[in-house]
Amino acid sequence: MNGEVYVKASSLVSQLGGKGSYDAASGTYAYQPVNEVAQAVEKTSASVVAIIGRYSNDASSGIKGSEDRFQLAHGTGVVWKSDGWIITNAHVVKDLKNMVVVTYDGKQYTGTAKYTDEESDLALVKIEAKNLSPAKFADNMNVQVGETVVAIGTPISFALRNSVTVGVVSGIDRSVHSTYRLLQTDAAINPGNSGGALLNLRGEVIGINSLKFAAVGVESLGFSIPSDTVMYVMDQFMKYGKVKRPYLGFTVEESWAALVGLPTDDPLKISYVNDKAAAAGIHKGDVLYSIDDVNVKTLVDLNERLKAYLPGDKVKLMLQSDGDLVQKEITLTEEN
């Protein structure tokens, strides 16, 4: 009409989400956009649980004495499977006695830490429950720096369970005294948030928050274990009851530039070789460039690459030995 295209307001609302209403008196249409944060929280809150431990010598009462009745440790977990499997941090459940898991609707269950892996700081807790709401875990390939994220957890006090904080993804592929890569966020992650969910605006879990990797007293600097690492560890738990990490038969050290976080092409230098690797022609002082044609420049790169393998698998290594580029094939063993 008159060279312009008109679209029904109701059609736009159905595509964009939100709400709209037409005022006949003024001839105007009022549009209220969807609150994406609230929508994400609504989708996933029922999948976030609180975890509390009672330090006690009295299993019947759960209370050691009146002086200890408030000395409780707490954290957060995320429902993985509807029949009572809960993902949390290993440091949350380590040495935790008389574990109680409280779901979104306030129901309480006795929790048992079935599997723990301190290296990844992940654990799997079991409660006797059915019809829980499992969270949806995202593909970390789609995570972008700057995108809005939401953290749900139990900060500071158990009375504050399922508290929500909002921030952005501050960085990806971070390494902070960790075996695997971490997500960095400025969403507040306080004591008790460990084991909770970091969500994208679709309500998908992109990471499990961990205070273990955060510096005490530093604000707006939180870290989360990416969902691909979470799923890797959970798969290993369910198949083997532990994480079966492959071992190359040698250890490596990073260059100074890699250690301090500078961009570098410096390779990893082999600092120790066991008998099996030595028999394959690998020597102390060799440098490692790649595993099955994938370059590895840092220890985290190496650990991420090894997630694709199991003990017993064979891999081809590109090395520099005595100034020459050589390729060696080794069989991976299991890390002790």
Please tell me the distance from the alpha carbon of residue 167 to that of residue 310, in angstroms, as a whole number.
37
CA atoms within 13 A on the CB side of 44: 33
Q: Report yes or no: 243 and 117 within 8 Å, Cβ to Cβ.
A: yes
Beta carbons within 10 angstroms of residue 120's beta carbon = 23
Q: Report yes or no: 329 and 317 within 8 Å, Cβ to Cβ.
A: yes
CA distances (Å), origin 106, targets 49, 101, 159, 198, 234: 9, 9, 11, 21, 26
Q: Report yes or no: 36 and 44 within 8 Å, Cβ to Cβ.
A: no
The residue count of the chain comes to 336
- Residues labelled catalytic: 91, 121, 194
Phi, then psi, of 204 in degrees rounded to 5: -95, 145
